[in-house]
Amino acid sequence: MFDFTQIKQALIDLDRNRTLASVKNALNRNENPQDILEQGLIAGMEVIGDKMEMEEMFIPEVLAAADTMRACLDVIKPLLGSTEVLSKGNIVIGTVKGDLHDIGKNLVAMMLETSGFKVINLGVDIPTEDFVTAVYQNSADVLCLSALLTTTMPVMKDVINSVRRSTSDNRVKVLIGGAPVSQDYANKIGADGYAPDAASAVKAVKSLLHRNK
């Protein structure tokens, strides 16, 4: 059995080369990319978050870890499954205004892409009007909003209200996610769905599209 704590610890130690080497080593040993992600990289990021909260780690260190995580995701992405030729639907995704966190959002985008959806990834710190424009220009079926800060969660409500105001038929469904977000919160702000992680985001998008038919 592969010891995923190697990956987790290398990420916590901010050792980029060792983290990448451990990820490649696990892949060479045919470990499941999903396990590498969850038991190695995401588990490591959780510890980094705790250290950040306890002021044992600071922004430059967390940024370095985020950069390493991004490099590892680039290695894993091609192995998560091949993108289907026909798009199953158009998805617009972004992190709301005021929020710069993008690792989880990019993971969700990546999983959706490899599941056959056309994904328009707007990036981070996206103004509400840009979401509205992107939904319209791309005839989006689902709008995915990510927020990692309790202070930016309320922005999701503004985006939902603006998107609803701008489309008369309610066709576009809105899915929300991010560490501080919950199903209760989704209900409260009128989102169509909530997903706690990237894998369930794919399931949630499929279920929302199914409901659309």
144/138 Cα distance (integer angstroms): 13
Q: Which is nearer to ligand B1M, 1 or 67 (CB)?
A: 67
Q: Which is nearer to ligand B1M, 137 or 183 (CB)?
A: 183
| CA distance readout (Å), 107 to 35, 124, 151, 177 | 14, 13, 22, 12
- Taking CB under 6 A as the binding criterion, the range among 10-18, 39-47, 129-137, 154-162 that sits at the site for ligand B1M is 39-47
Site map for ligand B1M, 157-196, x if CB under 6 A?
------------------xxxxxx--------------x-
Burial class (CB in 10 A: 0-12, 13-18, 19+), 187: exposed
Q: Which is nearer to ligand B1M, 85 or 130 (CB)?
A: 130
10/196 Cα distance (integer angstroms): 26
34/21 Cα distance (integer angstroms): 17
Q: Which is nearer to ligand B1M, 119 or 148 (CB)?
A: 148
Site map for ligand B1M, 126-155, x if CB under 6 A?
------------------xxx-xxx-----
Count of Cβ atoms closer than 10 Å to residue 82 Cβ: 9
- Tell me the residue nearest to ligand B1M as measured from the CB: 104
Closest CA to 43 of 17, 81, 69: 69
Site map for ligand B1M, 90-109, x if CB under 6 A?
--------xxxxxxxx-xx-
Contact yes or no for 90/138 (Cβ under 8 A): yes
Tell me the closest approach of the beta carbon of residue 118 to ligand B1M, in angstroms.
16
Q: Is 78 helix (H, G, I), strand (E, B) or coil?
A: helix
Residues that bind ligand B1M in the complex, under the rule CB under 6 A: 42, 45-46, 48-49, 52-53, 59, 62-63, 66, 98-105, 107-108, 144-146, 148-150, 175-180, 195, 197-198, 201
